[in-house]
Chains A and B, each alone.
Chain A
């Protein structure tokens, strides 16, 4: 397995997770209003930390990180340049949101900033989605047929919604456990329904990817490398684990969400949500390393 690409695996996954968290929480907030606001407290900081740490870790993949400012020089043609720009914009919008929350006097000094917060939040969500799209396009190279298919888009957006729902679900359950008085009414089912929708979408996209992978599976290059030969080198138990972990994560997560849904949003269990996110992230990390192993270049 291509473990050398671990910085790219971590970078893509944590940024995708942050994008998914932003989009799902904003969708939930649009319907649930103030109830959702309290449950998503700290979201901007968490997403900013994920984005910033992801960007820092991505530097470990570069041979010469000091030249990284040059990576936005080729926006006209290079999807890698576009990915860097989108990620930068995503993290920058999150940084502004964090600054507004951490330093409230900022909005008194610059009053229009407070009015801009909703707009910046929407921009952040759009930049997050654009980042996930650009990330997928980076790998959709015409010379790598196994990657140059809708499966890469499904894989990356699937990870964004799967990890995003697990992440925002964990944040909501921690906030519920820590700061909501026991007698207070729950967050309402809009929040839970939106997180559930994100989970179903993420898992659905992940499984929709499988037929495309199977189609590409038998195609081999002149070296005789194919998805099937690579999977057999990696070992079927590892591949099976990669498939089982997100299902296990989703099952655990449903154990968090369904009882709370029945109680009209009361009592989200944080410990279970931690395990769900751990298993979900482990499965996606394994999946991403497998993805990088399937760099089956055509030609020589």
Chain B
């Protein structure tokens, strides 16, 4: 098992096909409305006046596939009143259903919207990094399903060494809040985390 399990997302190659979302839902048999992995469509742009007085457009758009980042300083764990939300010895942030009271406070606090309430059981659920697959030496369902090979998983430090650290891409929040185990390869049009240039266009899907 990994010590600090992390995901890498390559924004250059992700086409926003959402196969990862579907594979996750299928593998974990998630009910309607519960999405452990979500693909955000982020876009913006406008007409920009050039020095010669003409106008050109700077329209951009890219996709961001995010599940839980199994953060180093997870705000969900800090907030949870029951300690049901915890980080296990393998670095996976999990919900202990023997304790979860279904208060949804973790959901209220996580800026990645990773905790997903399951009304059928009245408790919180979330990405478990496909722990069972990992034990069998297999990749998480989302990583295995991605047709563009945009998702990778592995040890955080190794992913960082391989792909470089760039987790401050809009619309991700400031990484100092939770220290996510996430490595992002930005695309050509990626905007900085605090950028006000774009908007999330598919909130209903997230």
Q: Chain A: residues with CB nearer than 8 A to chain B?
A: 61-65, 67-68, 70-74, 77-81, 84, 138, 141-144, 222-224, 295, 297-300
Query: Closest residue of chain B to A65, judged by CB?
Result: B101
**How many B residues, CB 8 Å from partner?**
43
Max chain B CB contacts within 10 Å: which of A61, A64, A84? A64
- In order of increasing CB-CB distance, the 3 nearest A-B pairs are A63-B102, A299-B111, A63-B122
Contact A143 B113 (CB under 8 A): no
With A63-B123, A143-B110, A300-B206: A78-B102 Cβ-Cβ less than 8 Å:
no
Interface residues of B in 143-201 (CB under 8 A from A): 170-174, 177, 198-200
Instruction: Specify which of A61, A74, A143, A295 is in contact with B111 (CB 8 Å cutoff).
Output: A143
Residues of B within 8 A of A141 (CB): 75, 79, 108-109
Q: Chain B: residues with CB nearer than 8 A to chain A?
A: 38, 40, 42, 64, 66, 75, 78-84, 99-105, 108-113, 117, 119, 121-124, 170-174, 177, 198-200, 203, 206
CA A64 to CA B102, docked complex, whole Å: 5
Instruction: Specify which of B102, B103, B171 is in contact with A222 (CB 8 Å cutoff).
Output: B171
A215 CB → nearest B CB, Å: 17
Contact A300 B101 (CB under 8 A): no
Instruction: Specify which of B105, B170, B203 is in contact with A80 (CB 8 Å cutoff).
Output: B105
CA A79 to CA B170, docked complex, whole Å: 29
Residues of B within 8 A of A72 (CB): 81
Contact A143 B200 (CB under 8 A): no
Contact B101 A64 (CB under 8 A): yes
Query: Closest residue of chain A to B118, judged by CB?
Result: A63
CA A78 to CA B119, docked complex, whole Å: 23
CA A272 to CA B125, docked complex, whole Å: 50
Instruction: Specify which of B42, B80, B102, B173 is in contact with A74 (CB 8 Å cutoff).
Output: B80
With A143-B109, A300-B172: A63-B82 Cβ-Cβ less than 8 Å:
no
CA A73 to CA B200, docked complex, whole Å: 37
Q: List 9 A-B contacts (CB under 8 A).
A: A63-B100, A63-B103, A64-B100, A72-B81, A79-B79, A80-B80, A138-B105, A222-B199, A299-B111
Max chain A CB contacts within 10 Å: which of B103, B117, B177, B198? B103
CA A76 to CA B111, docked complex, whole Å: 22
Residues of B within 8 A of A65 (CB): 101
Contact B82 A71 (CB under 8 A): yes
Instruction: Specify which of B82, B171, B199 is in contact with A73 (CB 8 Å cutoff).
Output: B82
A73 CB → nearest B CB, Å: 5
With A63-B122, A81-B81: A143-B75 Cβ-Cβ less than 8 Å:
yes
Instruction: Specify which of B75, B83, B171 is in contact with A142 (CB 8 Å cutoff).
Output: B75
A109 CB → nearest B CB, Å: 37
With A64-B101, A223-B200: A297-B81 Cβ-Cβ less than 8 Å:
no
CA A73 to CA B171, docked complex, whole Å: 34
With A63-B119, A73-B99, A142-B177: A297-B113 Cβ-Cβ less than 8 Å:
yes
Please give 10 more A-B residue pairs, beta carbons under 8 A apart, in addition to A74-B81, A299-B171. A62-B101, A64-B123, A70-B83, A73-B81, A74-B83, A77-B78, A78-B78, A78-B80, A138-B105, A141-B75
Query: Closest residue of chain B to A73, judged by CB?
Result: B83
CA A297 to CA B171, docked complex, whole Å: 12
Instruction: Specify which of A78, A143, A222 is in contact with B42 (CB 8 Å cutoff).
Output: A222
CA A71 to CA B198, docked complex, whole Å: 39
Residues of A within 8 A of B100 (CB): 63-64, 67
A263 CB → nearest B CB, Å: 50
CA A63 to CA B119, docked complex, whole Å: 7
